[in-house]
């Protein structure tokens, strides 16, 4: 369990650091090339992501699970899995890179509003093979429950991307097409640096790709790899399609309610540019947890069903420890957060309602990862389709209702998060036989969150009464009180055991674990 927790911590810290880097990078780039320069890159980025999805085909996650499972049974199989995955993604990415170059004139003529974006697509296409190979290596390390290469690789990748992106933007700032291509070059350079980091870790691990294929297990491994991979690929494709449907329905139904084009665009921007990114910010934790739990559960399956159940329960407990306070903070200070960060307090209406949905979103991330770790990737795909269908129906009707509009959008999204999380949790319970204690898992964290909320609200109210403390300091002080009070209660009420820090730090003593 200690390795699982330390892996989560490593990935969380890397994700958090990289998100802050990306946030400031976005600010700098917008100042250098403006919204139009960013817009050129964003025009082609969805095409790049789509071809990248097909190039990786869900294989990195499959590698993570298979290495964890078969590594526990027979460590000699690990490199065979890696070699098989590398051959597969290399051939796939080579084909889809070639296909993207072939289709680029059609994309330019029929899908790009500005032809100046085409050079950016060419530069991004060069990174597809690099990203595909790098993702397989990361899946391999994650399968061995060594999250350090992934964390270091992502951080180096982000730093190189920023350095190259800013440098090229400065050099070509008077030519937006070239500047946008420079930003794309930053992506390619960053991905190359990330791959080099993975290769260095692999070299120092003294691993080799010349392992003799395990003839007895080879057919089974091949079948399992592709059985796991195709639902993950379909999941990402469907996600992109559903996002496109949302982008079409929401503005259209707002217009049907009587809003102007400008106003409907503004509301859509508040949703996708402010409220949704804020709600997804706590997924920095759940994403790290999801990445670590997949190989941890796969390894546990080769050990004991009891270990599977224990790790599943612990991951859900950790998720709830994040979900409760996140929901409370977003519900308590929605207008202050959106006003101070984005100068758009109006978006607080969406954020406050979505705070409830966020609670279920975080649970869903973990539940879906548990199912993937158990070798059931098709279940999260089906639950996503069902819950998204419900959301689309609600969006169609609620968004155009007088008086609902904005609130209707938020409640439709909440319904999706709620339904999807409940369905996935039901399947997790059936697969693992969960025995979570309501008192320690739900009631204690909820009570700690309630006390935290009262303390933060009182702090903010008293500072506001003085009339001398600026709003940003009021919010910062209230959040500080919330964090300190909640953390203290977690340990005082023994919601989190004191041994947690020992479990977290013990595996970090070995930076390059050997076999």
Parts of the chain with a pLDDT under 70: 1-7, 27, 30, 34-36, 38-39, 72-75, 112-113, 206-216, 244, 302, 497-515
Check residue 263 and give its pLDDT.
79
Check residue 76 and give its pLDDT.
72
Supply the DSSP string of 176-192, one letter for each residue: HHHHHHHHHHHHHHHHH
Nearest Cα residue to 148 out of 458, 509, 456: 509
**Number of C-alpha atoms within 13 angstroms, CB side, residue 200?**
13
Distance CA 462, CA 466 (A): 7
Distance CA 454, CA 325 (A): 12
Distance CA 64, CA 363 (A): 22
Distance CA 34, CA 49 (A): 23
For residues 503, 507, 509, 514, the Cα torsion angle rounded to the nearest 10 degrees is: 170
Spatial neighbors of 169 by CB under 8 A, at least 6 apart, are 29, 32, 33, 37, 179, 182, 183
- Dihedral (CA of 472, 276, 271, 180) sign: positive
**Angle of helix 283-301 versus helix 305-332 axis, rounded to 10:** 170
- Burial of 214 (C-beta count, 10 Å sphere; 0-12/13-18/19+): middle
Check residue 509 and give its pLDDT.
52
Check residue 48 and give its pLDDT.
86
Check residue 512 and give its pLDDT.
43
**Look-up of token digits 């920095």:** 284
pLDDT tens-digit profile of 393-406? 999 888 888 778 88
3 state DSSP class of 214: coil
Distance CA 436, CA 324 (A): 17
For residues 193, 197, 202, 205, the Cα torsion angle rounded to the nearest 10 degrees is: 160
**Look-up of token digits 């998204």:** 388
Instruction: For the beta carbon of residue 87, count every other beta carbon within 10 angstroms.
Output: 11
Is the CB of residue 22 less than 8 Å from the CB of residue 30? Answer: no
* Structure tokens, 497: 């055991």
């Amino acid at each position: 369990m200690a390795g699982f927790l330390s892996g989560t911590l490593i990935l969380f810290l890397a994700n958090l650091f990289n998100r802050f880097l990306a946030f400031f990078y976005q600010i700098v780039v917008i100042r250098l090339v403006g919204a139009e320069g960013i817009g050129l890159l964003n025009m082609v980025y969805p095409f790049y992501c789509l071809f990248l999805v097909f190039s990786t085909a869900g294989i990195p996650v499959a590698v993570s699970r298979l290495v964890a499972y078969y590594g526990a049974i027979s460590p000699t199989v690990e490199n065979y899995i890696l070699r098989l995955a590398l051959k597969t993604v290399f051939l796939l990415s080579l084909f889809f890179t070639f296909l993207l170059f072939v289709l680029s004139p059609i994309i330019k003529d029929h899908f790009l509003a500005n032809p100046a974006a085409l050079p950016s697509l060419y530069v991004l296409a060069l990174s597809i093979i690099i990203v595909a190979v790098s993702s397989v290596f990361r899946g391999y390390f994650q399968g061995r429950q060594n999250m350090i290469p992934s964390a270091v690789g992502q951080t180096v990748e982000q730093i190189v991307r920023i350095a190259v992106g800013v440098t090229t933007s400065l050099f070509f700032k008077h030519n937006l097409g070239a500047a946008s291509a420079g930003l794309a070059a930053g992506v390619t350079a960053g991905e190359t640096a990330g791959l080099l980091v993975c290769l260095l870790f692999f070299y120092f691990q003294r691993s080799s790709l010349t392992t003799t294929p395990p003839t007895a297990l080879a057919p089974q491994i091949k079948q399992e790899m592709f059985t796991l991979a195709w639902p993950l690929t379909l999941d990402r494709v469907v996600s992109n399609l559903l996002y496109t449907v949302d982008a079409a329905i929401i503005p259209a139904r707002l217009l049907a309610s009587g809003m102007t084009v400008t106003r409907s665009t503004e509301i859509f921007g508040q949703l996708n540019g402010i409220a949704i990114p804020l709600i997804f910010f706590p997924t920095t934790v759940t994403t790290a947890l999801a990445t670590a739990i997949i190989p941890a559960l796969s390894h546990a399956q080769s050990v004991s069903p009891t270990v599977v159940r224990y790790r599943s329960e612990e991951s859900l407990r950790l998720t709830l420890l994040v979900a409760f306070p996140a929901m409370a903070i977003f519900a308590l200070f929605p207008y202050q957060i959106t006003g101070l960060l984005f100068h758009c307090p109006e978006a607080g209406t969406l954020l406050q309602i979505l705070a409830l949905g966020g609670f279920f979103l975080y649970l869903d991330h973990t539940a879906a990862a548990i199912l993937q770790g158990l070798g059931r990737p098709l279940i999260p795909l089906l639950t996503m389709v069902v819950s998204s269908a419900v959301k689309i129906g609600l969006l169609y009707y609620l968004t155009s209702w007088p008086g609902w509009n904005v609130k209707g959008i938020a409640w439709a999204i909440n319904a999706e998060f709620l339904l999807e999380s409940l369905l996935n949790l039901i399947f997790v319970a059936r697969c693992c036989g969960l025995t979570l204690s309501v008192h320690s898992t739900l009631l204690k964290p909820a009570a700690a969150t309630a006390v935290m909320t009262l303390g933060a609200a009182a702090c903010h109210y008293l500072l506001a009464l003085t009339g001398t403390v600026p709003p940003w300091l009021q919010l910062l002080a209230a959040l500080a009180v919330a964090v300190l009070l909640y953390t203290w209660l977690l340990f005082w009420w023994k919601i989190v055991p004191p041994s947690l820090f020992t479990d977290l730090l013990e595996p970090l003593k070995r930076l390059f674990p050997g076999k």
